[in-house]
Amino acid sequence: MSENVYLPQLARIVHIKDEVPGARAIKTFRVEFMNGGGFDHEPGQCAMISVFGKGESMISIASAPTITDYKQFSIMRSGRVTTAIHDMKVGDVIGVRGPYGNKFPVSDWKGRNLVFIGGGCGLAPIWPVIQTAVANRMDFDKITVFYGGRTSRDIMYAAELEKLRGQADVHLSIDSPEEGWEGYCGFVPANVMDKPQRPDNAIAITCGPPIMIKFVISNLREMGFADEQIYTTIENKMKCGIGKCGRCNVGTDYVCVKGPVYSWAQLKSLPQEY
Amino acid sequence: MQDAAAAKHDAQEFEPKVVAFLCKWCSSAGSDLAGVSRLKYPANAVPIQVMCSGSVSPIYILSAFNKGADGVLVSGCHPGDCHYLKGNYYARRRIFLVQKLLQFIGVEPDRFRMSWVSAAEGVKYAEVITDFVNDLKALGPQTKLKAKR
Amino acid sequence: MEAILKRNRLGQWITELQERAEIYAPDFVEDTWEFAKVGRGATVELNHSNTVRPAKRFVFPQREVLYRFRIENSQSPKLTDTEPKVESTVVFGVRPCDGRAMVRNDRVFTCGFSDPYYQARHDNVVFVGLACNAPPSQNCFCVSVGGSPHSEDGLDVLMTELDGRYHVKALTDKGSDIVRSAGDLFQDVKAADMDDVGNAHAIALEYSQRSISSMEAVAAALRRNFDSPIWDKLARACIGCGACTYLCPSCHCFDINDEVTNKSPLTGARVRTWDNCQFPDFTMHSSGHNPREDTGARLRQRICHKLLYFVETHNMQQCTGCGRCITHCPVGIDIVKIANVMEEGVWQ
Amino acid sequence: MIPVEDIRARAKDLLQSGKVRAVLGYRRSTAGLLAEPAFMTTADETAALVLDPTCVGNLALYLVNEKKRMKHARQSDKRPLGIVAKGCDSRAITVLLQENHIRRDEVIVLGVSCETGGMIDTRKLNKALRGKGATSAHFEGEGGVRVSYVGGGTILPGKDVLADRCLECAKSYPLDADFFFGEKVDERPYGPRFAAVSAIAEKGSEERSAFWDAHFERCIRCYACRAVCPMCYCDECVVDSTNFIVGPTTSADEKADRVRWINRSATPSENAMYHMVRAMHLAGRCIDCGECERVCPVNIPLRLLNTMLEREALEMFQYTPGIDAEQPSLISSFRDGDPNDFVR
Amino acid sequence: MTRRAGVFVCHCGTNIAATVDVKRVAAELARDAGVVFSNDYVYMCSDPGQQSVIDAIREHNLDSVVISCCSPNLHEKTFREASSQGGLNPFQCEIANIREQCAWVHKDRDEATTKAVKITRSAVERARRNQPLTPIGLPVTRKVMVIGGGIAGIQSALDLANAGLDVVLVEKQPTIGGHMIQLSETFPTLDCSQCILSPKMVEVSKHPKITLMTSSEVTSVSGFVGNFKIKVHTKAQYVDPDKCKLCDDCTAVCPVVVPNEYDVGLNDRRAIFIPFAQAIPASYYLDPESCLGLNPVVCGKCANVCEADAIDYDAKPKDSEIDVGAIVVATGFDLYAKDKMAEYGGGKYPDVLDGIQFERMCSASGPTGGQVLRPSDHEEPKTVVFVQCSGSRDPAQHCVYCSKICCMYTAKHATLYKHHVPNGRAYVFYIDIRSGGKGYEEFVQRAMERDGVIYLRGRVSKIYQSKGKLKVLGVDTLAGKNVEIDADMVVLAQAMVPSKGTTEVAKALKIGRDKDGFLAEAHPKLRPVESVTGGIFLTGAAQAPKDIPETVCQASAAASKVIALLSKPELEHSPVVARVRESHCTGCEMCVDVCPFEAITLVEGKAHVNEVLCEGCGTCVGTCVRAAIDVKNVTQLQVFEMLEACMGGE
Ligand SMILES: Cc1cc2nc3c(=O)[nH]c(=O)nc-3n(C[C@H](O)[C@H](O)[C@H](O)COP(=O)(O)OP(=O)(O)OC[C@H]3O[C@@H](n4cnc5c(N)ncnc54)[C@H](O)[C@@H]3O)c2cc1C
Ligand SMILES: Cc1cc2nc3c(=O)[nH]c(=O)nc-3n(C[C@H](O)[C@H](O)[C@H](O)COP(=O)(O)OP(=O)(O)OC[C@H]3O[C@@H](n4cnc5c(N)ncnc54)[C@H](O)[C@@H]3O)c2cc1C
Ligand code: SF4
Ligand code: SF4
Ligand code: SF4
Ligand code: SF4
Ligand code: SF4
Ligand code: SF4
């Protein structure tokens, strides 16, 4: 067979990092393709991760596009497949096919201010964008990152975020006060409201739980961001990832192909089915 | 052609796969006794111990067939002797219905068995298994519910 | 390429084709018409009304093994590709609505990423259509959605029954091939035959069908009424079964699951099966969030996908008017009625 | 013969007086001969209510569905639902009561007797009419059904066109109704109960096996049979391998640990498993409304599986489903004298 | 699910290794996903064997353990303990039985090994999904309620109280004593029933640990073993037992005369009376049913004469709630109603008596002062016919079972009759004589031989009155002829049936009854004094017909069970119990119906398992069609995975 789009490439887990503990734990898996496989990706794109015998899940590629010798996925334990992958150990092999979906149009944003707003697991999809922006730091003006978790233990990429501080304004938050916490206490949208961002020449990129996105967007609109200046991703249920299985269909779009990255302007024109 | 088919069904060649659901208190103990008495019976049946025959849901039985069992045995305490008093009475009613249903869709009735084996009936357990396996050998492989994947 | 086949030669044609292909034709099974494999020497009548299950299963079977896996050791899984080794297949008696559906399916499975399973099957199947001469079934409405009882779209051959004979028109290379291979069975088409064909087709168009007045207006109305409470009302009786979509010749949604055959070593297959937007969990996220929570939203999706979204992306309805979803809906949900209600805006 | 006006009047009265939040009944359908469910919320709508041999569906299903809808919509209208119920439908209501799925004060049953009639089986009708699509059907005379079709009409004997379930009906009128229409007829001019299942049961086991293999082979697992069954009210069915019940509190483990008893593939073995499990789960609960069989697009005679168990329940355990909301369920009861011979 | 399972395959010397290739088992398991350690050893249960488990758990960080060895009945405990020493929860250790169920019963090495692999693999699947569990601990109330104050209840109460437990004895009647206090003499020794019972009754009333509640009934119970909450309803006490001086003045003035139930109608009493001289509490009792009005205006005579001022017409009934840790049910029996024996003229002819009536007649404190006299004319009966099995062993019309004691008391009655009327003729109709018991057979023989009681084998078909005599028609099957006896008196040995109070109490306590209505024991052989509900015990004739020695045995047995139960400060209950998935439960109550231990109730429309009552039998699991209930560590998922493991293999 020439090109079977359904057949994953095999990739070995080479490193596992516990990001967040608890019932909805998040782990970051670093995988290396076997037999010389692999693919390039753009920030925002995803891949289908297979655990054989359990199934497949669509997961954002969390590593920067510039990194070619491995890919990283930050996966929240949520159900059948994600639990199975959480149960795996270094050396185990998974299947990966991709890259799927569109990308954040980072190259269009040259010279602008970037405001990243993430919550919970939602940092993963925008992380490669942050990485890309930071890698080309000179191309952008101000870079601001808002990120929040429920508690300090729910903050993923904690060390990386610390490192980021040199290159960007990083504002972390947790939902309610904790001893020793120096950042903001409260929800992410409130944190954003607390530190208003100037809308002119800015692009806001947000990702997180639907309810958070909803409030973030309304706050951004209040600050004067135009619909075209706001970007987010949507996570409709997906099975094939290549625009066939019909599951992620919203209006005319198959999110796995036309999405998952949307500007708020685009998203508004779609039926509210995500 | 016919001979080949016959040969395939030859009792020598075909080793039926059997799942035996044994209640912990009577039948499992009975099968232990068979062991202690060094009785011999065919190795086709893999026991699964359950607390009570009453806990054997019909879906267990069907699933065993689906996974490729050629025969399924459910064994519990004699009526009146259930460790939990009435579990085996419920089992009996349920399993009667399962058996009727299997029969109705054309699964040979001998593929499915229920027996009462008390903790003292090691001999009976050995007999039940031997007898069952012989029946199954004559029937050949079970295909109707076995998943072909 | 056109030719005439005597009615009594049909059997012979099929017999000859059986040398190199598996032949399917409608058969009356359990009071329903089904495409069934034609045994050697069996007679094929082609006097069927439409089959209950559409012809899509020849290119998109309900179950397709995508590949098999075997894992002796979690560090070295083995995958075995299972692109279908498809026997050449000729399907007789495909109604034009099913043919037109094939065009829609092609759009889905071959645009963007090409689906190798679909492709492999499609490459090896020849759809021999049969024009509808007889009065339509009670829920047919192909004309309203741009089709016709003798549409050629998506077919490889179209046969039209004439008095004692068939007019056979090959529409693709695959089609020409099966006609040419049995060339001596056929006669040339005469002008009179063409007249008869013309007549037959004209008469078929005369029969009254159910109708939707304006598809553009319907599309516009659907766009307009996305948030209307009418959907809840229309779907109140819907029981969320899969009859409408599984039987639809152009529904293509599927699910992918792993089927395990053995635990140790772990062996099994990744399998795709039909799925259906009317099932409650179809869009349910792992978090429990469900973008289409109720039957209203799901019915809206089905209708809008067919009559609006597909039109916007592919410039054609994804419905070819076969009427199966109406006839087989246990509770009388009716796409034609819904379309008309939408357009006319008459609902309480 | 029940004058439909009486039912309309009653439905109207219930709606007008605000005693019910809606009345479930039947009305004509655009999709074909069979009447479709009508959800009447205003008195005006009752004018469209019909009652004739095309009112095949079992509306008890919607008592279940409406409950889910209400919960979903977080509606608080606590008024009961009126429902037109035939004998079989009312048995379904009784089982729902027995299983605490609904409360008696949540429904107002407008019971209708089928008297000596019943409901039409469109397959039989099509056969009898040799493909002429019927446009309407009414009872006329002794056990006759007047059928009209485009360009004509005829009277057919009921036993030729009535559904098997009606020919074998256990009780053709509701035992538990708030309003009752028609006459209670116990002697019906048709065959014995369980005739269809007996015919199959009498076949040899090989033949029976082949019969079911052929049927299971054809099932497409559209689940119309399950979806239409008022007794199949579980949010999540054990045969589903996907998640139906996921809420904010559903843990990852719970999702990961769902047992895949049956695969989604519509292969003969999985189909057989599905039907076997379903039949077992309906043992003592199926009240023979025949809906599952009616809605099956590929005409699998599902009713046989259920009536076979119904017959066993009656003969071996003297159990009849749907007659007493207080009795314990078939499988949650036993008697010392239950059959024991089959145990070896 | 655990990820690091360890497998230990035992050779059991050669017991296993001779038939099963243990090395192969260990090697095959080592390849399975999730198994990180797999080894074999000659004797796993030996100290070094156990140590190897402990070491491996620590060394390889195992999170579950399977020992492939002998029956779990033998060493499950051993290995679970070893596992917990290694730091695992004991429930994360499972046993795969490859000895009794494999090595010892098969010959072919290859087949046996394959099967051993499957058994082990399915145990691994199970173990990997076992939850760590800890036994459920529950505090106990060290107080016991004994319901029923017959000999059974009295004995239990005394035993319990003497063991230092607080006891509440609840009796429905105004006095304790039950049926035994009505008996005259008792077989086989013919000692006076009242003489042996009265001291015990007094002891009850004096015992500091016993609270006596007469005229009281249990209305409902909540809670569970160790922690019951019981509601008791006490009827109004119009006579204060503490004040009553037993002077009898009140009786003397009471104008009401009604039949005396203690003498089964052979005698009369007043509306205020003392049931019998030895009544405990020792007090007169005002029967509100027959009293003219509890209203001084209507009568008020007794209160007027009572110098102790013990009578209070305004007394109110009382409801109390009592916390106890265990319950002993001793609610006894009734006689099968005489008038149900129409064929024998029961209830129709005054001279057809039942056993208790005859006992009363023979009793020195009875209505006739111990003389045998016909009720109709107070003449001494010259011919008395005793009918055994009256109502017993008669599946067609009456009770199916044997009442067990009638043979004996009939022999006693006939003997007593002969002692009172030596020249009278005593006939006994019997089907067979069941005289199992120490000294019982001798007792019957004595009745026949020494006292000349005439035993006729056969049933009585009819009794009717004719010319002042009771005509008894019967057959003598030994002689093969019909017999007809003109009797002066007939005594029917009526069947024993569960008392009305027993039926009521079973309902209140929600404990099961058997097909005859007697209280159902947890196991007919092994747990005869326990009810199915944990913490509720059964004793006496409420559980089955029995005589006094047996009753006393059982009463003491029940007491000792309670003492054992309450001896610990906390009760331990197996944590292997059912758990409901509320999202899936529809509240259909089928599980509630089937649970043999009444462990499930509906709470807000969902099944709720009382873990303390649940025994983990899984009957509910087999019943619930919605898969909404599972037993921990024997879940449906585990069974599914085990099935897969059993069926797999190439
Ligand atoms: C574009 C995209 C990017 C994503 N990126 C990430 C990520 O970076 N990290 C992360 O932890 N999660 C991500 N998710 C969500 C992730 O796909 C689901 O959590 C995951 O599929 C759950 O699978 P499961 O088998 O563990 O859960 P189950 O609940 O057991 O799965 C049920 C079924 O539904 C499907 N499914 C359920 N919810 C979703 C969903 N939201 N999206 C797609 N399929 C779903 C699964 O494939 C599975 O077949 C992403 C989803 C999408 C669509
Ligand atoms: C005619 C006859 C002769 C017998 N002779 C002999 C003999 O010679 N030797 C011998 O060994 N046995 C003899 N027996 C058997 C003996 O009477 C019984 O074995 C014994 O009385 C059983 O005692 P018990 O405490 O279980 O029941 P009972 O004596 O019946 O006592 C039960 C007590 O519970 C009370 N009660 C009932 N319901 C409730 C309630 N709901 N709440 C509170 N209290 C309640 C009753 O009022 C009663 O006080 C004889 C029996 C009969 C019928
Ligand atoms: S529309 Fe009809 S066929 Fe489709 S899901 Fe609903 S009830 Fe079923
Ligand atoms: S939507 Fe209905 S009418 Fe249209 S093609 Fe599909 S099944 Fe046929
Ligand atoms: S039996 Fe019929 S209705 Fe049921 S799932 Fe199969 S095809 Fe659908
Ligand atoms: S199983 Fe079929 S006949 Fe029985 S209640 Fe359900 S739909 Fe009706
Ligand atoms: S049987 Fe199942 S669904 Fe019914 S109440 Fe019990 S747990 Fe709930
Ligand atoms: S496991 Fe047994 S004891 Fe426990 S709740 Fe279920 S049926 Fe009752």
Tell me the nearest-neighbour CA distance from E5 into chain A, angstroms: 13
Residue A2 in this model has a pLDDT that exceeds 50: no
For residue E198, name the pLDDT band (cuts at 50, 70, 90): very high
Fold of E143-224+321-332+499-565: FAD/NAD(P)-binding domain (3.50.50)
pLDDT tens-digit profile of E530-558?
987 889 999 999 999 999 999 999 999 99
Query: Hey, what are E535's tokens?
Result: 């913490």
Q: Do the domains E236-316 and E577-631 sit in the same CATH topology, yes or no?
A: yes
For the cut 70, the answer to whether the pLDDT of residue B9 exceeds it is no
E209 pLDDT band (50/70/90 cuts)? very high
Compute the distance between CA of residue E419 and CA of residue E564 in angstroms, rounded to an integer: 46
Average pLDDT on E448-463 reads 94
| Amino acid residing at C219 | A
Residue spans per domain, chain D? 192-329
Residues A63 and A155 occupy one common structural domain = no
Q: Is A248 annotated as a binding residue?
A: yes
Find residue D120's DSSP bridge partners. Answer: D162
- pLDDT per residue over E559-600, tens digit each? 999 999 999 888 888 999 999 999 899 999 999 999 998 899
Residue B54 has pLDDT above 60, yes or no: yes
Q: Where are the domains of chain E?
A: 5-135, 143-224+321-332+499-565, 236-316, 335-495, 577-631
- In total, chain D counts a number of residues equal to 344
Q: What pLDDT band is residue A1 in, cutting at 50, 70 and 90? A: very low
- The pLDDT score that the predictor gives to residue D69 is 82
What would the mean pLDDT of E333-355 be, rounded to a whole number? 93
D129 Cα to chain C: minimum distance (Å) = 14
The answer to whether position A149 is within a domain reads yes
Return the pLDDT at C347: 56
Q: What is the pLDDT of residues A27-40, one digit of tens each?
A: 999 999 998 889 99
Report the first-to-last Cα separation within chain E, whole angstroms. Answer: 25
User: Which residue range is the domain that position A218 belongs to?
Assistant: 106-233
From the CB of A63, is ligand 1 less than 6 Å away? Answer: no
Same domain, C114 and C234: no
Query: Are A229 and A111 within one domain?
Result: yes
The answer to whether residues C112 and C168 belong to one domain is: yes
Q: Measured between alpha carbons, how far apart are the two ends of chain C, in Å? A: 53
Which chain A residues are within 8 Å of C226, Cβ to Cβ?
Answer: 271
Residue A46 labeled ligand binder: no
**Under a CB-based contact definition with an 8 Å cutoff, are residues C140 and C336 in contact?**
no
Number of folded domains that form chain C? 2
Residue B2 confidence (pLDDT) above 80: no
Give residue B3's pLDDT band: very low, low, confident or very high (50, 70, 90): very low
| Percent of chain E's residues with pLDDT above 90 | 83
Say yes or no: C183 and C224 in one domain.
no
E425 C-beta neighbours (distance < 10 Å), count: 18
Tens of pLDDT, residues D279-291: 999 999 999 999 9
What single letter denotes the amino acid at residue C127? F
Residue C70 forms part of a structural domain: no
Q: Is the pLDDT of residue D241 over 70?
A: no
Query: What pLDDT, on a 0 to 100 scale, did the predictor assign at position C328?
Result: 94
pLDDT in tens, E124-156: 999 999 999 999 988 899 999 999 999 999 999
Cβ E98 vs Cβ E16: under 8 Å: yes
Predicted confidence at residue B4, as pLDDT, reads: 44
Neighbours of B49 (CB within 10 A): 23
C90 pairs with which residues across the strands?
Answer: C23, C126
Give the residue-averaged pLDDT of E262-284. 91
A245 annotated ligand-binding residue? yes
- Residue E648: predicted pLDDT: 75
pLDDT digits (tens, 9 = 90+) for C151-205: 999 999 999 999 999 999 999 999 999 999 988 999 999 999 999 999 999 999 9
| pLDDT value, residue C76 | 83
- Residue E649's pLDDT band, with cuts at 50, 70 and 90, is low
Same domain? For A223 and A113 the reply is: yes
**pLDDT at site B149:** 58
The per-residue pLDDT for range B32-49, each reduced to its tens digit, is: 999 999 999 999 999 999
Whether residue E433 is predicted with pLDDT greater than 90 in this model: the reply is yes
Angle between helix E406-420 and helix E440-449 axes, rounded to 10 deg: 40
What tokens were used for E471? 């005509």
C-alpha to C-alpha distance for C206 and E212, rounded to whole angstroms: 99
CATH (domain of B86): 3.40.50
Interface of A with E in 168-207 (CB under 8 A): none
Contact E192, E185 (CB under 8 A): yes
CATH for E335-495 (3.40.190.10, 3.30.360.10, 3.10.20.30, 3.50.50.60): 3.50.50.60
Between CA A152 and CA D203 the distance in angstroms is 70
C71 lies in some domain? no
Mean pLDDT of chain D: 91
- Interface-testing mutation among D33, D242, D278, D291, with chain C (most C C-beta atoms within 10 A): D242
pTM (predicted TM-score): 0.84
- What residues contact D213, with CB distance under 8 A and at least 6 apart? B106, B144, D268
| CA-closest candidate to residue C15, choices C101, C111, C92, C97 | C92
Q: Which domain holds residue B92?
A: 17-139
- Residue C260 included in any domain: no
Query: Quick check: E596 and B85 CB within 8 A?
Result: yes
- Mean pLDDT over the full length of chain A: 91
Residue C229 in contact with partner chain D when CB distance is under 8 A: no
| CATH number of the domain within which A13 lies | 2.40.30.10
* Average pLDDT across chain E, whole number: 93
Judging contacts by C-beta atoms under 8 Å, the chain E residues touching residue A87 are 1, 3
Clarify whether residues C231 and C137 are in a common domain.
Answer: no
Q: Which residue of C has its CA nearest to D69?
A: C294
Task: Give yes or no for a contact between B82 and B89, defined as CB atoms under 8 angstroms apart.
Answer: yes
Q: Percent of chain A scored above 90 by pLDDT?
A: 67
Residues A69 and A140 both lie in one domain: no
Say if residue A118 is in the same domain as residue A206.
Answer: yes
Mean pLDDT of the C320-347 span: 90
Question: Which pLDDT does position D127 carry in this prediction?
Answer: 84
| pLDDT at residue A22, rounded to an integer | 87
In a domain, A269, yes or no: no
Q: Can you tell me which atom of ligand 2 is nearest the CA of E354?
A: 1
Q: In this structure, is residue A260 part of a structural domain?
A: no
| Residue A256 annotated as lining a ligand binding site | yes
> Is E600 in contact with E609 (CB distance < 8 Å)?
yes
Q: Give the integer Cα–Cα distance in Å for E307 and E466.
A: 53
Contact list in A for residue E3 (CB cut-off 8 A) is 87, 89
> For residue D198, what is the enclosing H or E element?
helix D195-201
Tens digit of each residue's pLDDT (9 = 90 or more) over A135-188: 888 899 899 999 999 999 999 999 999 999 988 999 999 999 988 888 899 999
- Decide if pLDDT at E478 tops 80: yes
Same domain as A110, residue A96? no
Pick among D306, D331, D344 to test the B interface (most B CBs inside 10 A):
D344
Task: Quote the ligand 7 centre to A94 CA distance (angstroms).
Answer: 39
**A111 pLDDT above the threshold of 60:** yes
Do residues D39 and C237 make contact, with C-beta atoms less than 8 angstroms apart? yes
* pLDDT on residue E498: 96
A81 lines ligand 1 (CB under 6 A): yes
Look at ligand 8, atom 2, and give the residue with the nearest C-alpha.
E617
* Res B6: pLDDT: 47
Phi and psi of C88, rounded to 5°? -60, 135
As for how many domains chain B has, the answer is 1
Q: Between A and D, how many residue pairs show a Cβ–Cβ distance under 8 A?
A: 20
User: What domain range is C319 assigned to?
Assistant: 215-253+276-344
Residue C264 pLDDT exceeds 60: yes
Please give the distance, rounded to the nearest whole angstrom, from the Cα atom of residue E637 to the centre of ligand 8: 18
pLDDT (tens digit, 9 = 90+) per residue, E47-79? 999 999 999 999 999 999 999 999 998 899 999
Ligand 1 binding pocket includes A121 (Cβ within 6 Å): yes
First-to-final CA distance of chain B: 27
Which of A2, A3, A5, A6 to probe by mutation at the C interface, max C CB count within 10 Å? Answer: A6
CATH level 2 (architecture), domain E577-631: 2-Layer Sandwich (3.30)
Asked whether residue B97 is domain-assigned, the answer is yes
Chain D positions touching A78 (Cβ under 8 A) are 252, 255
Task: For A51-74, write each residue's pLDDT tens digit.
Answer: 999 999 999 999 999 998 999 999
The CATH code that applies to domain E236-316 is 3.30.70.20
CB-CB under 8 Å, B62 with D276: yes
d(CA E113, CA E305): 93
pLDDT above 50 for B11? no
Among the bound ligands, the one closest to the CA of D169: 6
pLDDT tens string B18-28: 999 999 989 99
DSSP track, E328-393: EE---EEEPPGGG-GGGTTTTSTTEEEHHHHHHHHSTTSTTTT----TTT-PPPSEEEEEEEESSS
CATH class given for the domain over E5-135? alpha beta
Cα of D239 vs centre of ligand 1, distance in Å, is 22
A40 touching chain E per CB within 8 A: no
The confidence band for C348, taking pLDDT boundaries of 50, 70 and 90, is very low
Ligand 7 pocket residues where CB is under 6 Å: E 580, 585-591, 607, 623-624, 626, 628-629
A174 and A94 co-located in one domain: no
Q: Do B43 and E97 touch (CB under 8 A)?
A: no
Total domain count for chain A? 2
> What value does the mean pLDDT of chain C take?
92
Residues 6+ apart with CB under 8 A from E593: D328, D329, D332, D333, E623
Assembly ipTM: 0.91
CB contacts, 8 Å: A77 with chain D: 252
